[in-house]
Every structure is written in structure tokens, then in C-alpha cells.
Structure 1
Amino acid sequence: MQSIPAVVVDDARKSFHLPHREVHTLKERVLHPLRRSSADVLHALKGVSFEVQRGEFFGIVGRNGSGKSTLLKCLAGIYGLDEGAMYVDGRLSTFIELGVGFNPDLPARDNVLLNALMLGLSPREAARRFDEVIAFAELEDFVDLKLKNYSSGMEVRLAFSVLIQVDADILLIDEVLAVGDASFQQKCFDEFARIRRSGRTVLLVTHDMGAVQRFCDRAILLEHGETVHLGDTDTVAAKYLELNFSERARADAAAGVRDEEAPERQGDGRAEILDGWFEDADGARTEALPAGARCAFAARVRFHAEVRDPLFGLNLLNSRGDNLLSASNLWSAPESGTFAEGEELVFRVGFENILSPDRYWATPAVARGGGAGLAWLDRRERLASVVVTGTRPTDALVDMPYELELVR
């Protein structure tokens, strides 16, 4: 017999009315006493549906304004739906908004006890777990300090520490990793692993695709209140990155943004890079690559003059502009031969994909000479891009293979 899902969201719809015209002057109030302020309608959720099974770690991702937090607040009962239905079967505990449930004029000691009571612990149980909460948050020296004097990082550590002490069946967590230092984020990761082993149900809102791929069984991607994709985390992560970077590219193009320090194209015209693309392990063109597989970048070149021993090169940049690969035939095969006017060729750079999940851009080039005497024949800045997805998250620039040995 199939078990009842822990969470069911069925065609959830939620809108907000945003006032944008107020009646300000006395004349307007006298002439139009019944006129109401006009308003825009924001459709935060547009028919979202999914189910979360018991014991499932479920990710909710999307860009800012996609409806993620509204969805969680509806599940928590903070907002009511306009249409559709939601069902939550089990004891619920939420971490949705920093500061909710805390009194800034009270010290941490009182806030912990009050918040624990609000989340369903008995007074005796709240007192018993107090030391564990403070120890996890690493706030032993600040327990009698009023919360209004806490930093946002200290406050989020305290709130998350209270949350994990509650024996809830279902946890709703919104962006706990967005605030806090690296060491606390690692403690959160360790706690997520423990929660996952315990069989509790978790709905996690985050922008961290590494966390989604590491912990979540499935995920949903939202955009403008609608479902873009519901399914495995690798696909959701790839689509999220694609959505994020394609929107950024459209915004830059509309604003006329370009990198002035690196023109889109350089060269004297003796060679022309006609096209460039990424290839998967089978040699097929692709815009998405799984981490760990063999792949390549290829570019087609046409010569407009006779050129002897040209150099072919490639730079590979991540979304932050870091150069992760500088490949050329300068050292491997500097005598590439003579190419006649009108001749074409494809040069290909193959490599093991040890890249971390991100979007990467290829800058191919054809040149003559070397060192200080290098002369561009053609150089195409960020000619093609590819999204790399992976199941092993890392904060390193590359996911380099390694062997770890323990010797006692």
C-alpha cells in the first residue's frame, strides 16, 4: 500500500495587490472622495503542483522573485492560497525569515526558550535542550546579550540551532546558508546529513545548487510563480544555471554591457574563426556537460591569406572570469604547417572535465609568433558557453580527482 505523502501542493495560486497610486492632495480627496488607490497585481504562484514523500529531502530553487518564499509561507500557514490546496501531514517546524519568532529586546537566553515553546517543545524539554542550542550556535559568550545587538550571522545561527532541536516530522528551511560564515555553513551541511539519515522530511529553499545536488532527492525550479521543471536535481541545477546566465546575457545585451578591457574580437584579419562549440564524449555538440566526462571544444577557422605555422589556442573562463585553461600548440606542435588563402580547418582541444558546476565560456584564438611578439590573427572573446553539472559539490574552482588515505 502506497504511503500518504508528507506534503501535497495542488494547483497552488497566490496573488498580491501592490498599491502604486495614492490620493495625496486635498483637492483630489474632495473631488474624488471614493476613489481608491490603483494597484498592480503580482501573481506570486501560478498553479504550482507537486508532492513530497515521507523522508524525502526536497529542493525548491529559483531566482529572486520566482515564488519560492511565498510557497514556503503558504505551507507554513502564514499566507492563505487564493486557489488550489496544500496538505501537510505531520508536525511542522519552519525557518523561513530571519528574526521571526524572536524579540530583539530580550537576551538570547529568553529568546531560545520562548522560540522553543512556540515550536512545540514543553518548558522542561526547552530548558533541557538549551545548552545544546547555544553550543551548536557557538554563542556561549553572548547568551545574555540582547538580540538587537546580534549580527545577522549570529541571529541565523541561533534560529537554526533552535529549529534542529525540535522533533518535527517536516522541516521548512528558507536560505539558511545565505547568512553565516563558512564554518557555520559546514555545520549546517553536517546537520543536513544527520537529518537526512533520520528520515525526516525537509523542504529546502536555496540558491546553492551544490547543496541541492548533494542533499536533495528531487527538486522543483520556479520562475515567475510557475514550474519550469520538477524532477532530478542534476536537471534542475542545469536548468537553473541556464536560466540565470541566459537572463544575465539578455540584460547585458539590452543595456549594451560589454567588457571594455577585452574587446569581443581582435586580429589583423588573416584568419577568421567562423564558429566554435563544445562536444561531449561522443563528439556531439552540446550546451551541457556532466562533470567527470571527457569533452572538447572545437572551432572552425578560415584563412584569408597564406600563413605559416599559426598558433591555435583556447582560454576557458568561469562565470566569475577566472581563466581555468590555457591551451595552445605553442609548445606541443609549434610547426603547424603552411595554410593557403581560402583554406579551412577545425582545431579541437580535448580535456577531462574536472570543472565545478557553473557556466563556462570559451575564447579561441589564432595567432603568429609568441611571447612579446605574439600577433592575433583572430581572437573571439567568449564565443561559446557550456553549463557543467555535477553530483559532487565543491567550492573549489575545479573538482580535481584525488586519493585520500588514512594511516594510523
Structure 2
Amino acid sequence: MTDHVGNHLRDRRYLMSSWPYRSALFLTATAVIAAPIAFCFWVLVIPWVVAAQSIGDGQPPRLPVVVLMALGAILLVFGAPLVALPLAALERQRLRWIDPRPLAVPRHPSAVNPVAWLAARYREESTWRAVLYTLLLAVLAPPLYLAGTLLLLLELMLLLSPGLSEWTLGDVVIDGGAGSIPLCLLGIVLIPAFLYLLGLVAAAHDALARRLLGGSDGLRDRLIEVAQSRARLADAFDAERRRIERDLHDGAQHRLTSLTLQLGMARLDVPEDSPAAGPLVQAHAQAKELMVVLRDLVHGIRPQTLTDLGLPAALWDLAANSPVPVSVSAADVLDRLPERIETTAYFVAAEALTNVAKHAVATSASIRLTRSGDGIVLEIQDDGRGGADPARGTGLTGLADRVAAAGGRLFLASPAGGPTLLRVEL
């Protein structure tokens, strides 16, 4: 991880290594690549320069200049990614000349056709970071390479000065021959400085390219992948929960209902003074209790009200079954929402009302469901004693994880003495 030009610049053996020459080769190739890019860029920018000069002279730009400005802007916006993406791929390979450390490559999902693939690339941040890299290369390369060329010519003139009869350096006229030997010695002394300068420029180029083309060592891409996998896991969990609910409702619950009916009919056929009457009555009562337990279990997995009528109706159902009086305000959200959003909001409200009943010592609570831009905001507030703490195992950490998996945010305000406000943005 330390075998790169930036690290070798601090090594005393830098001048004796191959890194100065690898840097020179890298920068020479960069000049070859940057030349056509810079030429095309400045050709597109020239109309803007002309227009700025006309405005500076107090005159509006002419129509042909305006047309060329618009054409140049369109080409830059829509054409720059087409140039930047292959250039970024080339630069990631070329950076190995001076920095063999692995560079994270943005992973692009496959598309069914080239148009969809290109449209997806235009929406990615990595594409526009590559465009920024290309523009910086077009803007910075010409002046830097011009300065580097002048320095190289000066170095060559100093080294070759004894062999020249007479040459000028600005306004200074210098005689060649033996009188230029001190200048030749100065040129020899400046060779290490020139080689170090090559390494510095190459290291700066490497750092900039890795920053823009590598996505901060792929951390952003890994975070996106983790968020997507977490959402997929949440969807898979919800799908499995719906399957369990369906199996319980369509299988076990129906069979238990049939068993309860059969036991009830058997009670009618068995005399009350029969030895079997007592156990039969007890079995019938237990079957009815088990039906209630199973119905509550199925309702807890995913309530039928939420599936059939949507989130507002499910919230009203929660409020009706709460031991604490609960008011519901959901007039702004009467249409159906995406299933993941509805499920997440419902279970947040259910867990919050359970906490209110168990821990808050509250006399009343309220649920407010409102629209906020493209999302919804769910607020559950109670007048209890407050002091809700996720570390005490009240389920708040699990709620935060569920909300985060759905791409939302959870906020909690619960000062000692109350009130407690739980706010979820989805």
C-alpha cells in the first residue's frame, strides 16, 4: 500500500529509483491524451470568451456567437459524459504506472438496451465526477505543460550553454564557451529539482484522479450496496411474514374453526351428566380461546385492515384497540401508499402505542399522518412521563432499523416529565 510515487518522493533513494522516469513517462502520456481534449474544450469555449468580451465593451453578442454558445453548451452537457466515461476507464488503468494500489471501479447495473444503460449513467454521481476530471484535465493541462516545456528548454540551454557561441535569456546576453560553465553547473544542480518536480506533479495528478475516479476508495459505492441489500432483506422479511400470515389464515385458522364447531356440536349430543361432558366443555372453551389467540397472532403479523383499506384505516383500528385514548388525524393521506411505506408506518405506530400503554403512564395520545413533499410524516405523541431511552429495550432501536431499511428517518423527543414525541419521515 506504500508502493506509489507519492510515498517514494519522501525516500532518499528517489533519484536512484525508476520513479522519476515512470513519472516522466506518465506525464508525457497525459500530455498526448489531454491535447485533443483540451483543443475540443477550448474550441467550444471560444464563443463564450467572445461574448464576454463583447459584453465588456458594452455591446450584446452577435447572433452567430449566441448560436455557437448554445451549441457548445449542449455539446458539453450531453457529450461530456460520452468522452469522460471511456477516459475514466483509461485513466484507472494508466494510474498503475505510478500507483499500483487497487482503485475501486463504480459498478454499473446491467440494462436491457444501450439507451437505458446510457440514461442510467447520466444519473450516476460517478459519471459527473469523471466529467469534472475531464474538464480539469482540459483546463489545467495546457498552462502546466507550457510551463513544464519552458522549464525543460531552460534546463537544456543551461546544460548545453558551453557549446553555444552566444545565447540570450530574456534581456540578458550570455557568451558561450568557458564563460558558460557556471551556468552548465547550475543546470546539473537543477536536474534533481526537475526530477522531484516531475514526481510532485505526477503525485498530485494521482491524488486528484483517485479522488474523482475512485469514489473515495469505493466507500460511497459500498454504502449504497449495503443500503440496497438491507432494503432487499427487509422486503424478503415482509414477504416471508405475509406467507406465514397466509398459511395461518388459510390453513391453521380454518382448521381450528372447524374443530371448534365440531366440539360445539359434540356438546349438544353429549348429556350434561355424562363423564365426557366436563372434558368436552373444557376442550371447547380452550379451542375458542385458541381461536382468539391465533386471530390476534395473524393480526399482529399484518392486519387485514392494512391490506384491504390502507394505512389511515389501520391507524384508526390501532387507536380503537388501544387501552389509552388515542386520537387520529390522517385526512391528508387518504390514497394508498407503497406497501413497504404502509407496513413500516403501521408497525412504528403499533410499537409506539404499545410503549405508551406499558411505560408512559399517559392519559391520552395522538397520531398524526401528513404529507411532506414526496413522502409522509408520522407523529405519535403522548402526555406521559417521558424519559424514553432506546438503551432500555423499549423497541426503539428496532424501529429505527426498520425505518432506516425503508429509507426513512426516525426522531425522538422525550424529556423527563414528558411529553414524548416520535416522528418518522418516510
TM-score (norm 1): 0.19
The structure richer in helix per residue is 2
The structure richer in strand per residue is 1
TM-score (norm 2): 0.19
Using CA pairs under 8 Å that are at least 6 residues apart, name the structure with larger relative contact order, 1 or 2. Answer: 1
